[in-house]
Chains A and B, each alone.
Chain A
Amino acid sequence: MVGIIGYGGYVPKYRIKSEVIAKVWGEDPDRIKKGLGINEKAIASSDEDAATLAVEAAKIALQRAGIPPKKLGALYVGSESHPYAVKPTATIVAEAIGATPDLTAADLEFACKAGTAGIQMCMGMVGAGMIEYGMAIGTDTSQGRPGDALEYSTGCGAAAYIIGKDAESLAIIEDTHSFTTDTPDFWRRNKADYPSHGGRFTGPPAYFKHVKSAALGLMKKMNTKVEDYDYFVFHQPNGKFPKAVAKMLGVPPEKIADGLLTPNIGNTYSGASPLGLANVLDIAKAGDRIFVTSFGSGAGSDAFSIKVTDKIKNREKGKPVSEFIAHKEYVDYATYAKYRRKFKGM
């Protein structure tokens, strides 16, 4: 078996409140906050992008793993906001953390689940003995069209995971199961600045069907049940969907609270469920079991069953996610529009 030997999360410090965005578009702030379950979102500054966010998270993962970066045999960066259409983010990150040149690297895209897809790829390579360690990162500076419902939820953040053998792991990945179909609930065409989405079609036939099917599929495969887990982390496109899917699966609200970050940082897309897991790993104790289910539009879900080991004490070597969330500075809409490059002509 394989597991997580190091992990790191990063959330940029700037925040914009939902009510500030609502005011610009003449929407009722209370209805937005209640409807989406999002109070504020984290945004990257002018000098940040999906690559720099990934580097921040990767460095923390390395601190916790305590391995030299050159030992990484693979590095995958999952994002839907890769700075380049052609030219890998993964090479930028690998060079920045000192992992080059003897490794394989590639960029991944699967809407909000490219990060967990990277974890599965590393699991396969480590499990097969092709590499000793692999790093998978989910990172995004996600895009929401000004005035669209997505503008309230599209946040920025990243999480990195180093996958290695189970004996060295601070948390063992017991098993994984995916559920994938061609469901066009959300997309961004080539050269489009902002994504399109199918409104409520993103719910029942997309998010709920895939998250539920992947989660139930894994529990069936492993013969486990909700009661066997101490924490659940679901993909969190807003504050409501993860709560609703937890209810459908019979997961009590207290088991999802620690992995649910969207109300305060927005949906960090490829970073979302990986960051939720990082926040849970920051507080879990040896023996705890964590169930994670990501979701990427298009559509697919990856479910993971994770068991924390006594090596979890290594987390002390890195900064917890909660510190990044607490360290914040609010900006107004104009500053946010500048930081997120929403002005034409910039």
Chain B
Amino acid sequence: MRKVAIVGVGMTKFGEHWDRGFRDLVTEAGVKALEDAGMSGAEISAGYVGTMAAGSLIGQEHTGALIADYMGLNPIPITRVEGACASGSLALRQGLMAVASGMHDVVVVGGVEKMTDLDTAEVSEILGGAGDQEWELFLGATFPGLYAMMARRYMHDYKATSEMLASVAVKNHKHGSMNQFAQYQNEITIQDVLDSKMVADPLRILDCSPLTDGAAAVVLAPLDIAKKYTDTPIEIVASAQASDTIALHNRSSITGVKAAEIAAQAAYKQAGVSPSQIKVAEVHDCFTIAEIMAIEDLGFFPKGKGGEASLNGETQIGAKIPINTSGGLKAAGHPVGATGVKQAVELTWQLQGEAGKRQVSGADVGLSHNVGGSGATAVVHIYKRVN
């Protein structure tokens, strides 16, 4: 297996792109990534794209071909990958395997979702497809409802409070305020979260990630030729994926995401690093409770202590382990298929020292954690600055 590096990254602003379509967004991100790598499309030999629900959200299937067409990449193969909210990381993983195996040399990986063409109720129903339609969604559960059940059990077992949950959103908005690509760049307070509209008790609207349009892309190349494209290649030193039951009620525990824990352990082993060596992480905070569980599943904090750590500011930039410097799904936005790739883009900037006001000093190893549905798919990648 060859070592693989990210040699170019790009993304659109995340937000409500009412005047732009799916193809405009993904093309913008892809072109930016190619420009960042200083290469033309002719050097690309394959592409992978993560999008969860283009068929339902905009009525467009066959998105790989659409993207090849609009990016002017014909006739190279572009393959769509789907794993609900983890689609972006799955695409990254496919691209990584293609380059590592020697099947392809230079590969472009994209993630995209166009979500604001429909109203919130319709989009919520479509996102429900990330769970078990037959046993969860048909019976009335919604995604906020599933995560609310996880939150309630977590709060019961570990005496966590609504303030602890709220502190995650407050921190992510603070980080997002320093990110020009973030959907929300405004700071909020714990009281704002506690006063916001209840969605599914105990989750309020400010505990939830928004509906977002956006795209992100990275260019991958074998590490040994990476310097041809960039002075600061970022090596992907681990890629792990794990699965769990699709329905929440079939899990032995709902106060953590077991697939994420398994993927994280595998990734640490591949990379030969421990959680304490990670300097910056992008985690899947689709709801505030999800970030608290994530930082425990990843081994940054002991089980049951993630809420307190968040409230104490240990996950802010400058503190013990900066989590979601991009603003996370909460503030940067969550264009479902784009999220996993955006995490790789943000970590590339952090490890290159290009993250501006939100730069984590001394960041040399980063981790991304991307979860599909309520935890049936989890993907963890670890990235390292190449010296």
Query: Using a CB–CB distance below 8 Å, which chain A residues touch chain B?
Result: 27-28, 31, 196, 198-201, 205
**Out of A31, A196, A199, A205, which one reaches B120, CB within 8 Å?**
A199
Q: Is the interface of A mostly helix, strand, loop or mixed?
A: helix
Specify which chain B residues have a CB less than 8 angstroms from the CB of A196 in the assembled complex: 119
Q: Within 8 Å CB of A205, what residues of B? A: 18-19
> What is B's interface to A at a CB cutoff of 8 Å?
16, 18-19, 116, 119-120, 195, 197
For A27, what are the chain B residues with a Cβ–Cβ distance below 8 Å?
Answer: 197
B6 CB to closest chain A CB (Å) equals: 34
- Whether the Cβ atoms of A28 and B197 lie closer than 8 Å is yes
B195 adjacent to A201 (CB under 8 Å): no
Q: Which residues of B contact A199 (CB under 8 A)?
A: 119-120
Residues of B within 8 Å of A31, CB to CB, are 195, 197
Q: Which residue of B lies closest to A198 (CB)?
A: B119
Total A-B residue contacts, Cβ distance less than 8 Å: 14
Q: Which of B16, B18, B120 has the most CB of A within 10 A?
A: B18
- Closest-CB distance, B15 to chain A (whole angstroms): 11
11 example contacts (A-B, Cβ-Cβ < 8 A) are as follows A27-B197, A28-B197, A31-B195, A31-B197, A196-B119, A198-B119, A199-B119, A199-B120, A201-B18, A201-B116, A205-B19
Q: Closest Cβ of chain A: how far from B236's Cβ, in Å?
A: 37
Nearest-Cβ distance from residue A309 to partner chain B, whole angstroms: 44
Q: Which residues of A contact B195 (CB under 8 A)?
A: 31
Q: In the bound complex, how far is the Cα of B115 from the Cα of A200, in angstroms?
A: 14
Beta-carbon nearest neighbor of A32 in chain B? B197
B125, chain A: closest CB distance, angstroms:
16
How long is the Cα–Cα vector from A200 to B120 in the complex, in angstroms? 11
The closest CB in chain A to the CB of B119 belongs to A199
**Least distance between B119 CB and chain A CB atoms (Å):** 7
CA distance A328 to B128 in the complex (A): 46
Measured between beta carbons, the chain A residues less than 8 angstroms from B120 are 199
Q: Which single residue of chain A is at the shortest CB-CB distance from B198?
A: A28
What is the minimal beta-carbon distance from A214 to any residue of chain B, in angstroms? 20
Let me know if A200 and B16 touch, CB within 8 A. yes
Report A58 CB to chain B, min CB distance, Å: 38
A residues in contact with B197, CB < 8 Å = 27-28, 31
Cα distance A31–B16 in the bound complex, in angstroms: 24
Distance in Å: Cβ of A183 to nearest Cβ of chain B: 9
**Complex: how many Å from CA A37 to CA B18?**
26
Q: Which residue of A lies closest to B120 (CB)?
A: A199
How far is it, in angstroms, between the C-alpha of A196 and the C-alpha of B18 when the chains are bound? 17
Give me 11 other A-B pairs in contact (C-beta within 8 A), A27-B197, A28-B197, A198-B119 excluded: A31-B195, A31-B197, A196-B119, A199-B119, A199-B120, A200-B16, A201-B16, A201-B18, A201-B116, A205-B18, A205-B19
Of all A-B residue pairs in the complex, the 6 with the closest CB atoms, nearest first, are: A205-B18, A201-B18, A31-B197, A199-B119, A200-B16, A199-B120
Complex-state Cα separation, A201 to B18, whole angstroms:
8
Roughly how many angstroms separate A244 CA and B55 CA in the complex, as a whole number?
Answer: 37
- A residues less than 8 Å from B119 (CB atoms): 196, 198-199
Distance of A201 Cα from B119 Cα, bound (Å): 10
Least distance between B199 CB and chain A CB atoms (Å) = 12
How far is the CB of B282 from the nearest CB of chain A, in Å?
A: 27
Chain B residue at minimum C-beta to C-beta distance from A197: B119
**Who on chain B is nearest to A28 by CB?**
B197
Q: How far is the CB of A141 from chain B (nearest CB, A)?
A: 25
Q: Which residue of B lies closest to A183 (CB)?
A: B18
Provide the bound-state CA to CA distance between A331 and B195, in Å.
Answer: 29
